[in-house]
Chain A
Amino acid sequence: MAAGWDRDNKMMFGADRKTGYMVDTSLQPGKTHKEIVEIPFPEGVKKMKVSVRLWYLPSNPAENLDQQKENKDKFLFFAEEKEVSLP
């Protein structure tokens, strides 16, 4: 997400009177973006089901993702579930 307002250090979205960027974490054309997440196995657990979902949030913060309505506030781009087990 690109956000910023160049008069001060307040992060703003596009429609909120933005005239510059401070950060741009969007996916750039032709580029590959990699995210690495390390998930600890719970104590004594050797097998785990990992669910990865890529949500597109047009404007809402990710903190309250569960409360957001699908196809209105949040859009599911990809979903994948894999079972992994320790040797």
Chain B
Amino acid sequence: MVKRSLLLLSLFLLLPFVLPGLGYSQGGVKKAKSVDELIKMFDSSSCKQCHQKEYEEWSKSFHAFSLVGSMRTLGSWASTIKLIIDGKTYPHAKATKVEDLKVEHLMFCAKCHLPQLKYAEDSVAVELAKLVISAAEGDEKALEKVKQVNINCLICHQEMAIVHKWKDGFVDRSAVYGKKEGSHFDPKYGKLKKSPVIDRAVFCGQCHGTGPNFEFPEPSQCATAYGSYLHAYIPSGGTKTCQDCHMKEDNLGHFMVAYRDKRMVKKALDYSVEILPYSFLHKPGVYHNKARVVVKMTNKAGHRIPDG
């Protein structure tokens, strides 16, 4: 009996070392071996059945094609990948061809554009990099595939739903997170759990961030909106959250639009133009006639403009 208990204990202690070898990441999520497998692991298409309005709003948002954006994002991804493997820009990256790429090479972008990439094996980084480069060069089929790996329902309502993991615990993979607790009508995600942060600015701040991502071997700074929110908007007396302006007001919902929408522009900026025509005595008897145009812009948004 004692022998069996010791054996079980030994196996239990060995589990953290055994699981990664079996393709499991530290979060207990099995690692994807292909882009298709990653898409399947984070497939949220079933959400549409009950949450049609939210799903349709989301499908028009940049979150729904987070590696592509306005095509500018896709171009940045492709150019960054090419720089990583050019052997000159990052001589210590240990990657000189696409096949050398590992997940860690892409995570300083994927942290926000595709956080689920951390649950993929390095072969997925290679496959994804090839798809991104092909898509940026005009391959429609590759583009369609790239669009399928995105920030979807499961990323916000599960993966990113807990910020303070020591206090609130780690994410429950059988639950979706929202503003209340209860049961959830879904065969795979049967529980509804409360995320303490999902309606707070800090939730969005996980990606629309504070500055350079120093946790990576090659840090970068892309979106800095939450930094501006914390250090400029709040000190100036701001009281709103990201969700107030980008979701609740104007019933924007999961579209979460910004500069592409006139309603957001109107809310974000006060703008006035005054024009004063006048004559300036350049030298005796000679006047220069001018119009003095004064443009005033007041930023009413919760962050600098532009930012993201």
Contact = CB atoms under 8 A, between A and B. Distances in A.
Interface of A (DSSP majority class): strand
Contact of B304 (A27, A45, A80): A27
Given A31-B299, A40-B290, A84-B291, A26 B306 contact: yes
A31 B298 contact: yes
A32 interface: yes
Interface in A11-69: 14-20, 24, 26-41, 45-46, 48, 50, 52, 54, 56, 58-59
Contact of B299 (A29, A36, A80): A29
Contacts, number: 152
B289 A40 contact: yes
Interface range on chain B (Cβ under 8 Å from partner): 35 or more
Contacts of A32: 270, 296-299
Nearest to B231: A29
A57 B76 CA distance: 16
A39 B308 contact: no
A82 interface: yes
Interface of B (DSSP majority class): mixed
A34 B295 contact: yes
A16 B222 CA distance: 8
B294 interface: yes
Given A26-B307, A36-B295, A41-B289, 14 more contacts: A15-B80, A16-B76, A17-B83, A26-B304, A27-B299, A28-B304, A29-B300, A32-B296, A32-B298, A34-B295, A41-B291, A75-B259, A78-B265, A84-B276
Interface of A: 1-2, 14-20, 24, 26-41, 45-46, 48, 50, 52, 54, 56, 58-59, 71-72, 75, 77-78, 80, 82, 84-87
